[in-house]
Amino acid sequence: MLAQLRALFIIDPLIIICTVLYGSVNLVVSLFETTGRKQVAIARAWARMLLRVSFVDMKVEGLEKIDPNGSYVFVANHLSYMDTPCILAAIPVQFRFMAKKGLFSIPFLGYHLSRAGHIAVPRDNPREAIKAMSEAGKMIRERGISVLIFPEGGRSPEAKLQPFKEGAFYIAINSGVPVVPVSIAGSEQVLPMGSGTVSPGKVLIRIGDPIPTEGLTVKDRGKLALGSHDAVYELLKDTNLVMPKLEAEAGV
């Protein structure tokens, strides 16, 4: 009961205040800066503040495996809406999210996502989805930035790792950059699926070894997806923050 009261009267109001303040600053900055870099920097500051006011203790492992100035396609498991601020706070690389198109229709949020250069992906229109993937590949090649994708296609119920869709790997091969597997553990306890209340907790993010794509063709995207899935699973399976069902029921 005490934890619920703290979340309701302290954590949730602080989250709202931080989001409004940082979002307002981001909105103003977006009117003058079109590359999205400053917007992402502000979003990263928001994410770090959000974790502080939420009493989330986050640990990151494997940062030495990536070049902060490099270009990658990051692929991560997806447990909670808290994954986005955790990833923003954890990985100091200029990247853009590929997110479902519905988020871009939300007032204020949708405008920020568009202005910052994040990419909308329609789930029910294959032709538009291919166009979005081509746009992501072009952005990586021409602007030298990275893309982060949750290749399960949505949040994983009960922390069970789902099979990876192939879009992220098409982008990586098409743009000629490495795939970086990322695991997230513990965020499902901080903000469970279906809950609107954030609770204090621990989150562990692990960054795996980059998987090169040189010499691959788009026909290899399925094999690359399977290898990346295995890599994320290996990062997850020995952490005590992952629910026990994960190892038994993860797909390959």
Domain boundaries, the chain: 56-249
Nearest to 183 by CA among 201, 205, 163: 205
Q: Report the sign of the C-alpha dihedral through residues 148, 153, 165, 139, in that order.
A: negative
Residue-level pLDDT at 109: 65
Residue-level pLDDT at 122: 78
Task: Place 98 in a pLDDT band, splitting at 50, 70 and 90.
Answer: confident
| CATH topology assigned to domain 56-249 | Glycerol-3-phosphate (1)-acyltransferase (3.40.1130)
At residue 120, the 3 state secondary structure works out as strand
Greater pLDDT, 130 or 246: 130
The two tokens of residue 16 are 């709202």
- Residue-wise pLDDT for 104-129, tens only, equals 776 666 666 777 778 888 777 777 88
Pairing of strands 119-121, 56-61: unpaired
Judged against a pLDDT cut of 80, whether residue 224 lies above it is answered with yes
